[in-house]
Amino acid sequence: MQTFKAPGRLLSGGLITNYKCPSKCAHCLYACGPERSWQYIDYETALACFRQASRLGAGSMHIGGGEPFLNFKGLARVIEAAGDAGVKVDYVETNSAWFTDHETACRILGNLRQKGLTTLLVSISPFHNQFIPFAKVLGVIRACEETDLRVFPWIADFIPEIRSLDVESTHGPEEYMRKFGEDYLAALPGRYWVHMGGRAALTYNSLWPPKPLESILEDTLPCPELFDVSHFHIDPYGNYLPGLCTGLALGMELLGSTLSQNDFPVLGVLAAKGIAGLFDLAQKEADFEPQGAYLNKCALCLDIRSHLVRRGYPARELQPKGFYRALES
């Protein structure tokens, strides 16, 4: 029986409060959007996750989504849970869609500051501007200044370009390409960290030159990404998401355990034989028919896993199912 060991030590990561988001950004690793579930992590689940992460070495974490600010009271409880577990909140992420007016924003942020919030990561990019008028972002930044919260602008380099358009309106990629050049969208990952997984893999499949399938399958080594604990995430259901491998999940209680490939066939084969092993499994057990080329091995892995989910392949690590449904919509 082949086995593999789940990570038993954590460095830096974040807690995902929810997958619901008013935006449906083209680069979103977690395929968040309006169609995702309203489920928001509760205090008890957050507390247990923070405590487990702390025991495994993560003394501080960030909080993200989805959009955490879709549930103000829920977010306050998550921040409380972090404090009760002795975990420092590095920052909370937001796309600013929730902003309505200065007074309300200051009241919300002031309450969260009392709970322990010190820094707000404010998303700033053309991807977000397709759904969020920049005036809302500016409003959140002003409210942070008023309530003595630090602002982490991610990323400020885009501000001049976004400001050159009407800040009261949204602007899609076509408008940016008309103004700044046809290669604008294709060049964004060179200026802004984008992992080619989730919705980004679908977006850039037609914008970047793909690699032949044969060359990707030459990689027969185990996937080290599964064991990267430098930027892990925990989802609203209390699952550990290995590395940046969205759509794969393990219960937090399994971290540090030796697991059987029989129980976790997808994770097991990736841990033992990498993308080539997963490809063989999908062809033999689920009649997978590949494209001729992919962006990279992660895009191929995503295509295989999406196929396995559609076929109902029995692998409990293929979670959450809403992630795969969102990629189809």
pLDDT digits (tens, 9 = 90+) for 31-66: 999 999 999 999 999 999 999 999 999 999 999 999
Compute the distance between CA of residue 265 and CA of residue 286 in angstroms, rounded to an integer.
13
Return the domain boundaries, the chain.
9-211+225-255
Confidence at residue 82, expressed as pLDDT on a 0 to 100 scale: 99
Compute the distance between CA of residue 283 and CA of residue 304 in angstroms, rounded to an integer.
9
Compute the distance between CA of residue 91 and CA of residue 96 in angstroms, rounded to an integer.
14
Q: Residues 177, 181, 182, CA angle at the centre, nearest 5°?
A: 70
Q: Determine the CATH number of domain 9-211+225-255.
A: 3.20.20.70
The pLDDT confidence band at residue 67, using thresholds 50, 70 and 90, is very high
- Write the CA distances from 311 to 128, 203, 305, integer angstroms: 33, 24, 10
Phi, psi at 150, each rounded to 5°? -75, 145
Phi, psi at 258, each rounded to 5°? -90, 125
Compute the distance between CA of residue 152 and CA of residue 2 in angstroms, rounded to an integer.
44
For residues 257-280, give the mean pLDDT: 97
Q: Contact 122/149 with Cβ under 8 angstroms?
A: no
The pLDDT confidence band at residue 4, using thresholds 50, 70 and 90, is very high
Which residues contact residue 160 at a Cβ distance below 8 angstroms, ignoring those fewer than 6 apart? none
Q: How many CA atoms lie within 13 A of 198 on its CB side?
A: 23
Compute the distance between CA of residue 300 and CA of residue 297 in angstroms, rounded to an integer.
5
Q: What percent of the chain has pLDDT over 90?
A: 99
Where would I find the beta strands (DSSP E) of 150-268? 150-154, 211-212, 232-234, 239-241, 250-251, 258-260
Which residues contact residue 102 at a Cβ distance below 8 angstroms, ignoring those fewer than 6 apart? 139, 142, 143, 146
Q: pLDDT of 183-214, one tens digit each?
A: 999 999 999 999 999 999 999 998 999 999 99
**Alpha helices in 130-256, H assignment, sequence order:** 134-146, 159-163, 173-180, 184-187, 198-203, 213-216
Q: At how many degrees (to 10) do helices 102-115 and 72-84 cross?
A: 20
Which residues contact residue 68 at a Cβ distance below 8 angstroms, ignoring those fewer than 6 apart? 17, 18, 75, 78, 92, 93, 94
Confidence at residue 1, expressed as pLDDT on a 0 to 100 scale: 64
Indicate the residue type of 210: P
Q: pLDDT of 77-121, one tens digit each?
A: 999 999 999 999 999 999 999 999 999 999 999 999 999 999 999
